[in-house]
C-alpha cells in the first residue's frame, strides 16, 4: 500500500508564496450543496483565513528551528492552533456529509417538495436558518443530477475525509477511529516537518504505524478538491480503506 504512505524523500509542498489560499475556500465550495448554504460557506471562508495565517506561522517556526537549532516556543502555540483547525475542518465536512445524506435520501424517496412544504409552515416569526434550508432544498429539487453529484463528491472527498476523521479521533478523543475505548498512540504529539514547518501527527492503528498527517496535508487535500478531478475508482477506495484498517 505504498501509494497511501508519506513520501519522506521528496519535496511535496509548494513554497508559501506559491500557495493559492483561495483554493481552500473553493475546495470546500466545490462540494455539491455546500456553496448553496451561506452558513457553511461562511465557515469555509473562516477556515481559509485561518489556514493562510497558520501556514505563515508554520514557516516562521521552521525558520526559527533552523536558526536556533532547537524547538522554538512558538511551536507550542502552533500545535494548539493546528489541532483546533483540524477539528474545525472535520466539523464542516461532517456537517456537509450529514446534509448531503439528508438531501440525497429525500431526493431518492421523491419527498423533497414535501420537506420544503413542511419547512414553509408558518411559525409566526422569521427564521433565517429555515429560509436558507428551504432555498437549498429548492435548488436541489430543480437539479436533476443532485443524487449523482453528491455520490461523485462523496467519492472525491473519501480519502481526505477518512484521514481527517482518523487524526481528529486521535487528537480530540485520544482513541482510534471506529474502536470505542481504544487508546491512541501518542495523541496530540507533533513533530516539525522539515519541508513546510507543519506539525506531523503520527497515525497508528494498533501496532501498525500508517504514517503521519499534518495540518498542511489536510489543507492541501482540501485545495485539491477545487480542481474537480474525477474521483478514485471503487477498487482504489477499497484498497485505501484496507490500508487505514492497518491491513498487511
Which pLDDT value is given to residue 246?
77
Q: What is the pLDDT along the chain (248 residues), one digit of tens a residue?
A: 333 344 444 458 999 999 999 999 999 999 999 999 999 999 999 999 999 999 999 999 999 999 999 999 999 999 999 999 999 999 999 999 999 999 999 999 999 999 999 999 877 788 888 999 999 999 999 999 999 999 999 999 999 999 999 898 888 777 666 666 666 666 678 899 999 999 999 887 777 777 899 999 999 999 999 999 999 999 999 999 998 887 54
The pLDDT, as a whole number, for residue 11 is 58
Give the pLDDT score at 8: 46
What's the Rg (C-alpha) of the chain?
Answer: 20
Give the per-residue pLDDT at 80: 96
- Long-range contacts: 6-10, Cβ < 8 Å, 24+? 6/211, 6/212
The neighbouring-strand residues paired with 203 are 211
Q: Which residues contact 239 (CB under 8 A, 6 or more apart)?
A: 1, 4
Q: Are 199 and 79 in contact (CB under 8 A)?
A: yes
State the pairing for strand pair 208-214/199-205: antiparallel
Query: Could you give the CA distance from residue 80 to residue 98 in angstroms, rounded to a whole number?
Result: 27
Residue 155, burial from CB neighbour count under 10 angstroms (0-12, 13-18, 19+) = middle
Half-sphere exposure of 123 (CA within 13 A, CB side): 10
Three-state SS letters, the chain: CHHHCCCCCCCCCCCHHHCCCHHHHHHHHCCCCHHHCHHHHHHHHHHHHHHHHHHHHHHHHHHHHHHHCCCCCHHHHHHHHHHHHHHHHHHHHHHHHHHHHHHHHHHHHCCHHHHHHHHCCCCCCCCHHHHHHHHHHHHHHCCCCHHHHHHHHHHHHHHHHHHHHHHHHHHHHCCECCECCCCCCCCCCEEECCCCCCEEEEEEECCEEEEEEEHHHHHHHHHHHCCCCCCCCHHHHHHHHHHHCCCC
**pLDDT value of residue 178:** 63
CA distances to 49, 70, 213, 216, 235 from 85, in Å: 11, 25, 13, 11, 31
Report the alpha-carbon angle 49-53-54, nearest 5: 115
Amino acid at each position: 500500500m505504498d501509494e497511501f504512505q508519506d513520501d519522506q524523500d521528496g519535496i511535496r509542498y509548494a513554497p508559501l508564496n506559491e500557495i493559492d489560499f483561495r483554493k481552500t475556500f473553493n475546495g470546500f465550495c466545490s462540494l455539491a450543496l455546500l456553496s448553496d448554504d451561506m452558513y457553511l460557506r461562511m465557515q469555509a471562508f473562516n477556515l481559509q483565513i485561518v489556514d493562510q495565517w497558520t501556514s505563515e506561522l508554520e514557516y516562521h517556526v521552521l525558520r526559527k528551528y533552523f536558526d536556533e537549532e532547537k524547538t522554538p516556543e512558538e511551536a507550542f502555540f502552533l500545535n494548539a492552533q493546528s489541532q483546533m483547525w483540524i477539528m474545525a475542518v472535520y466539523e464542516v465536512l461532517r456537517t456537509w456529509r450529514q446534509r448531503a445524506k439528508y438531501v440525497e435520501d429525500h431526493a431518492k424517496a421523491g419527498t423533497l417538495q414535501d420537506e420544503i412544504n413542511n419547512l414553509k409552515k408558518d411559525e409566526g416569526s422569521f427564521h433565517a436558518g429555515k429560509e436558507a434550508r428551504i432555498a437549498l432544498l429548492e435548488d436541489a429539487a430543480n437539479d436533476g443530477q443532485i443524487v449523482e453529484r453528491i455520490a461523485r463528491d462523496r467519492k472525491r472527498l473519501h480519502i481526505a475525509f477518512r484521514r481527517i476523521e482518523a487524526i481528529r479521533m486521535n487528537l480530540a478523543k485520544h482513541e482510534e477511529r471506529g474502536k470505542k475505548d481504544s487508546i491512541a498512540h501518542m495523541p496530540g504529539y507533533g513533530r516539525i516537518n522539515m519541508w513546510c514547518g507543519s506539525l506531523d501527527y503520527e497515525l497508528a492503528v494498533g501496532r501498525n504505524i500508517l504514517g503521519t498527517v499534518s495540518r498542511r496535508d489536510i489543507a492541501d487535500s482540501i485545495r485539491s478538491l477545487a480542481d474537480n478531478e474525477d474521483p478514485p475508482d471503487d477498487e482504489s477506495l477499497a484498497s485505501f480503506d484496507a490500508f487505514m484498517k492497518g491491513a498487511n
